Chain A
Amino acid sequence: MSDTSTATDAPAARRSFWQALDLDTRLLGMIGAFVLVALVFNVLTDGRFLTPRNIFNLTIQTVSVAIMATGMVFVIVTRHIDLSVGALLATCTAVMAMTQTSFLPNVLGLELGHPMIPWITMLVGLVTGAIIGGFQGYLIGYQAIPAFIVTLGGLLIWRNVAWHLTDGQTIGPLNETYMLLGGINGTLGVFWSWALGLAAAVAAAVGLMSARRTKVSHGFPVKPLWAEGAIIAIVVAAILGFVAILNAYAVPERVVARDFERWGCDAAEGCTAAYGIPYSVLLLIAVAIIMTVIAQRTRLGRYIFATGGNPDAAELSGVNTKLLTVKIFAMVGMLCALGGIVASARLGYHTNDIGVLDELRVIAAAVIGGTALSGGIGTIYGAIFGALIMQSLQSGMAMVGVDAPYQNIVVGLVLVLAVWIDIQYRKLTGAK
């Protein structure tokens, strides 16, 4: 059979330079968009946007939506949609808030503040999310009800199940340990942030080099060594730069003075401390790594993308696409619970309107991040960047003082524009 591929000899040295680096152009585009947004707001706010404090806030505000968006990628890749994530988050936080404030203390007799309470609570939340999500997945996969309908019903049902469970009351205060996952309440501190950052940088460098060795051992073409080195340098710089920024956000003196022992000082006088990496951001990073490994390195991920590309082909290849749908939605349910833990821990209580409109933020994050609604295409890091870009836009506009309606109009425009750019990009590169 004939092959019409033509060997491309890059004549221009400049082109071969970029080819040698072999960068992910889509990732670059997303980073570029984020940098652009950040710079514009930084100018508009007279430099307040790109302060360690604001970047710290931005990351902790993004976490909840970003966690759920990683799951939404799998849903959209398999040509489904999940409109129920915000409502499911509310049901999960309602269950978790009730578990820790009334069920465990009153029914099981664990006194408030018992060390097991937060862990049992989170487990209960994750199981709740997985069961509800899995059940929705069963209706979609095995009963062939369109995902749009099942989760639209779910949007109404779970929002109001949460209301019913709590009688619409705000439930709190939540467990102290539980609230460590909220963001500013729980951070690694300077020393451990640096330690973790260095460990991550080393791991990234070793990982990239071992991937290169695997390629060489199979006789595949690899980048020139200088290009590999440059990429490792960029990645290491990015990791350490991120840590440096979060470590530059000093804890205000008043806060240190209130509880100087927590910040490792003997006395309040002269005690300085910085926040470092929040636990919630660590949770997001862990979720991102696990979801990326699932997407790229496991059969489950391979089947998710194959099903998205051609459901019939996947089925004829022996993939149980019905069970796959259940697994994906159960996964999203668990991620809703995780997002709920972060969101309610950040607030310090469960409220009746927690997660309202999150489904749209989550879908928008996945789509801005390059997930195609036609299925088969999407990345985890893209969804996280999408969430970050959305959050930057919103908090940036709030800082500038843009009126609320204009904020939403801009976010809506950006969503449509992002998808349009993505379509044009795919046309240009000839990808589907």
Chain B
Amino acid sequence: MNTGTPLVEMKDVSIAFGGVKAVDHVSIELYPGEVVGLLGHNGAGKSTLIKMLSGAYKMDSGQILINGKEARITTPRDARDHNIETIYQTLALADNLDAASNLFLGRELTTRLGFVDDATMEAETRKIMARLNPNFKKLKEPVSALSGGQRQSVAIARAVYFNAQILIMDEPTAALGVHETAMVAELIQELKKQGLGIFLISHDTREMMDLCDRVAVMKNGKMVGSERVEDVTEDDILSMIILGKNPKAAA
């Protein structure tokens, strides 16, 4: 693993809000079939880093390479064009619309006349939901009427349906119960086998040790370091998070 061209390479990226350097000259790469966990305190810059990749923020400086080629990502649409899909912590669902409308939001299927094809979209939603969450039946109702787990599965379906190569998951299990968390873990393994690269953000160090191949730790907008999970202990990671130092580099 970790040879050949990385799927994503973020080189020396920075962004500042006002005077605060939220992300300060950070570099990170992601290979096909790899799950990279981003760890750090609140405000360490994990979400901000990832939002530059998903097009929600525009970076001030730096470079993003997708499959070795420089990519200009300034809007969410650019990111989608590069097969980057994001599951946001807030899920980013329009509560007043049904599951199908949310799944295809921004990428509606249309009839030959250019009108949105609700029937086909609903049928496609039915298909993907049958795979992800067989109990999902409330296709016609606004997603505000769904449970947390159901809403999450709509957000995941949206990312998976469009053949993402790169998946960003921001706290995918924060709002979920034990059973649902296990399903997300299973899904991550399955997608990994299909050769997707996945960025995972979480606060749960133990969960990250289980799900990820590699963890990258950030503190105060800077990258502390990234390590393969088999090479470090949970304590090593905790000290990276808290002290902002890589114990292996110091050793």
Question: What does DSSP make chain B's interface, helix, strand, loop or mixed?
Answer: loop
Q: How far is the CB of A342 from chain B (nearest CB, A)?
A: 28
Contact A1 B93 (CB under 8 A): no
Contact A1 B150 (CB under 8 A): yes
Contact B80 A318 (CB under 8 A): yes
A377 to B138 alpha-carbon distance, docked (Å): 19
B233 at interface, CB cutoff 8 A: no
A residues 1-23 touching B (CB-CB < 8 Å) = 1-5
Q: How far is the CB of A94 from chain B (nearest CB, A)?
A: 37
Contact A218 B120 (CB under 8 A): yes
Q: What size tier do the contact residues of chain B reach? A: 35 or more
**B13-21, B26-34, B100-108: which lies at the A interface?**
B100-108
Q: How far is the CB of B8 from chain A (nearest CB, A)?
A: 19
Contact A218 B116 (CB under 8 A): no
B96 at interface, CB cutoff 8 A: yes
Q: How far is the CB of B127 from chain A (nearest CB, A)?
A: 11
A262 to chain B: which residues have CB within 8 Å?
A: none
Contact B153 A1 (CB under 8 A): yes
Contact A314 B145 (CB under 8 A): no
B102 to chain A: which residues have CB within 8 Å?
A: 306, 313
Q: Tell which of A302, A307, A315 touches B101, judged by Cβ atoms closer than 8 Å.
A: A302
Q: Mark interface residues in A317-359 (1 if CB within 8 Å of B CB, else 0).
A: 1110000000000000000000000000000000000000000
Counting chain A CB atoms within 10 Å of each CB, the highest count among B80, B105, B136 belongs to: B105
A310 at interface, CB cutoff 8 A: yes
Decide yes or no: A5 and B138 within 8 Å by CB, A297-B115, A310-B93, A316-B88 being known contacts.
yes
Contact B179 A2 (CB under 8 A): yes
Contact B96 A2 (CB under 8 A): no
Contact A3 B137 (CB under 8 A): yes
A424 to chain B: which residues have CB within 8 Å?
A: none
Contact B135 A1 (CB under 8 A): yes
Q: How many residues of A contact B (CB 8 A)?
A: 37
B residues 107-136 touching A (CB-CB < 8 Å) = 107-108, 110, 114-116, 119-120, 122-123, 133, 135-136
Q: Tell which of B116, B135, B144, B180 touches A432, judged by Cβ atoms closer than 8 Å.
A: B144
Q: Tell which of A220, A303, A312, A377 touches B92, judged by Cβ atoms closer than 8 Å.
A: A312
Q: How far is the CB of A150 from chain B (nearest CB, A)?
A: 25
Q: How far is the CB of B92 from chain A (nearest CB, A)?
A: 4
Q: Tell which of A3, A214, A302, A316 touches B150, judged by Cβ atoms closer than 8 Å.
A: A3
B residues 49-66 touching A (CB-CB < 8 Å) = 54, 56
A299 at interface, CB cutoff 8 A: yes
Nearest neighbor of B90 in chain A, beta-carbon distance? A312
Decide yes or no: A318 and B119 within 8 Å by CB, A299-B108, A312-B90 being known contacts.
no
Contact A376 B96 (CB under 8 A): yes
B224 at interface, CB cutoff 8 A: no
A319 to chain B: which residues have CB within 8 Å?
A: 105-106
B92 to chain A: which residues have CB within 8 Å?
A: 310, 312-313, 316-317
Decide yes or no: A305 and B135 within 8 Å by CB, A218-B123, A318-B75, A431-B142 being known contacts.
no
Q: Tell which of B94, B133, B135, B142 touches A314, judged by Cβ atoms closer than 8 Å.
A: B94
Q: Tell which of B76, B120, B135, B179 touches A316, judged by Cβ atoms closer than 8 Å.
A: B76
A4 to chain B: which residues have CB within 8 Å?
A: 147
A309 at interface, CB cutoff 8 A: yes
A432 to B145 alpha-carbon distance, docked (Å): 8
B234 at interface, CB cutoff 8 A: no
A129 to B144 alpha-carbon distance, docked (Å): 37
Nearest neighbor of A311 in chain B, beta-carbon distance? B94
A302 to chain B: which residues have CB within 8 Å?
A: 97, 101, 105, 108, 116
Nearest neighbor of A432 in chain B, beta-carbon distance? B144
B180 to chain A: which residues have CB within 8 Å?
A: 1-2
Q: Tell which of A215, A299, A317, A432 touches B119, judged by Cβ atoms closer than 8 Å.
A: A215
Contact A376 B150 (CB under 8 A): no
A154 at interface, CB cutoff 8 A: no
A432 to chain B: which residues have CB within 8 Å?
A: 95-96, 142, 144
Decide yes or no: A306 and B137 within 8 Å by CB, A1-B183, A3-B150, A316-B92 being known contacts.
no
A401 at interface, CB cutoff 8 A: no
Counting chain B CB atoms within 10 Å of each CB, the highest count among A214, A310, A377 belongs to: A310
Q: Mark interface residues in B61-83 (1 if CB within 8 Å of A CB, else 0).
A: 00000000000000111001000
A308 at interface, CB cutoff 8 A: yes
Q: Tell which of B56, B108, B147 touches A3, judged by Cβ atoms closer than 8 Å.
A: B147
Q: Tell which of A5, A214, A297, A314 touches B105, judged by Cβ atoms closer than 8 Å.
A: A314
A61 to B145 alpha-carbon distance, docked (Å): 40
B residues 142-164 touching A (CB-CB < 8 Å) = 142, 144-145, 147, 149-150, 152-153
Q: How far is the CB of A428 from chain B (nearest CB, A)?
A: 14
Contact A317 B96 (CB under 8 A): no
A270 at interface, CB cutoff 8 A: no
Decide yes or no: A318 and B123 within 8 Å by CB, A312-B90, A376-B95, A431-B145 being known contacts.
no
A217 to B152 alpha-carbon distance, docked (Å): 29
Contact B114 A309 (CB under 8 A): no
Q: How far is the CB of B53 from chain A (nearest CB, A)?
A: 13
Contact A220 B135 (CB under 8 A): no
Contact B105 A306 (CB under 8 A): yes
B residues apposed to A, CB below 8 Å: 54, 56, 75-77, 80, 86, 88, 90-97, 101-102, 105-108, 110, 114-116, 119-120, 122-123, 133, 135-138, 142, 144-145, 147, 149-150, 152-153, 176-177, 179-180, 183
A-B contact pairs, 14 of them (CB 8 A): A1-B133, A1-B150, A1-B152, A1-B176, A2-B179, A3-B138, A3-B147, A293-B115, A298-B116, A303-B106, A308-B94, A316-B54, A318-B77, A318-B80
